[in-house]
A and B are shown apart, each in its own frame.
Chain A
């Protein structure tokens, strides 16, 4: 067997085993998307209700004067919460987020605000620590299956830094939004100071006048942190679903690519084998002819 033939056989074998791995990853990711989507849907009622409650309080109290809703006149430092994944194998998922985060950082610096990264997901943490950038906070290990406790922890750290006089004055979030199975987009949002999101569809009746137990200020005090938590939780869930979708897509194209390589290599291998056979035949024929010529010359 020729050396080239052996080489091609070896490559085909290795590409085949790679294809098996990427195919398995693809299947795992697609089964997890469904689960992540279900969790997103399960979290929806709470987020909807809490948004309604917050807008209820805000529309009732004429002037909302709460530290979490008032913007500082001269913001100096802004936290940027960057939500990445723990593992790679997801195509441009993390690269897109980090690029967007860098762009936001530049924008903030242009306004004279110093961005402080708070990073979720090992990939983002590795990216920042490799470049020697200081992080305000880092959390990892739950990007593909976040729990509410994780969101609480992150929100707690952010709100504490926000309430601190020398801490941060704004909180931005860079994360991936899950729009559909095929589309996920990197979105940049500001979550604090709070802009209470007005629902797009106007309620048919104006929000009723609420009574508060114990007082409006107390309700707001405990409501707003929960609202921030729920927003961060929703962000984490969306990011998890997007991560799985991105991984599925990346692994699908890797599998397709591997199969294409196998096809090309198989063709080359067949050609090499055929060339070898042809050469052997022509050598035999040539040898036989030479013998026949020699015998004819003797006579």
Chain B
């Protein structure tokens, strides 16, 4: 079966690139799964989403927290253009939990826009690291 060529890039660097069987991401319309020979798609990703790349062949899945950006699929090539992205394996769980608590506290105190975004980001980061988040 054909494989997808996947690239996860942020403005500062290329985060990951390689081949995969399937890519699952969350756009503003909902979850989208991309398999080889998918029609060309351009989607807007949600703030604080989790990206899963199923690499197949016994390799572990790649999970990353993606904060905003785009998904572009064309010709079995998938590019994730993320403003900020972190691989699940690179997430500092303790720090992310800390950030989550802090964001939650300030959101409860006053509904500030930036805090709500921080909360989403912290959640995505933890989920990418494989932690259970309420």
Contact = CB atoms under 8 A, between A and B. Distances in A.
A143 to B, nearest CB: 17
Given A211-B39, A211-B41, A212-B41, A53 B28 contact: no
B113 interface: no
A219 interface: yes
Contact of A46 (B11, B42, B43): B11
B40 A209 contact: yes
Interface in A44-67: 45-47, 49-50, 52-53, 56-57
Contacts of B12: 39, 42-43, 147-148
B14 A226 contact: no
Interface in A168-209: 205, 207-209
A242 interface: no
Contacts of B7: 45, 49
A222 B82 CA distance: 12
Contacts, number: 91
A218 B7 CA distance: 23
* Chain B interface SS verdict (over half): strand
Nearest to B71: A213
B104 interface: no
Contact of B10 (A46, A52, A207): A46
Interface stretch (B50-58, B72-80, B88-96, B121-129): B72-80
Given A213-B27, A219-B43, A148 B75 contact: no
B29 A43 contact: no
A233 interface: yes
Nearest to B14: A45
B42 A53 contact: yes
Contact of B42 (A45, A148, A213, A230): A213
B79 to A, nearest CB: 5
A214 interface: yes
A56 B72 contact: yes
A210 B11 contact: no
Interface string A206-237: 01111111100011001100100110010000
A229 B75 CA distance: 27
17 contacts: A42-B14, A46-B10, A46-B14, A49-B7, A49-B81, A52-B79, A53-B70, A57-B42, A147-B12, A148-B10, A148-B83, A212-B41, A213-B42, A213-B44, A214-B29, A219-B44, A226-B83
Interface of A: 39, 42-43, 45-47, 49-50, 52-53, 56-57, 147-148, 151, 205, 207-214, 218-219, 222-223, 226, 229-230, 233
User: Which 8 pairs show the lowest CB-CB distances between chains A and B?
Assistant: A213-B43, A208-B40, A42-B13, A148-B11, A46-B9, A45-B9, A213-B27, A49-B79
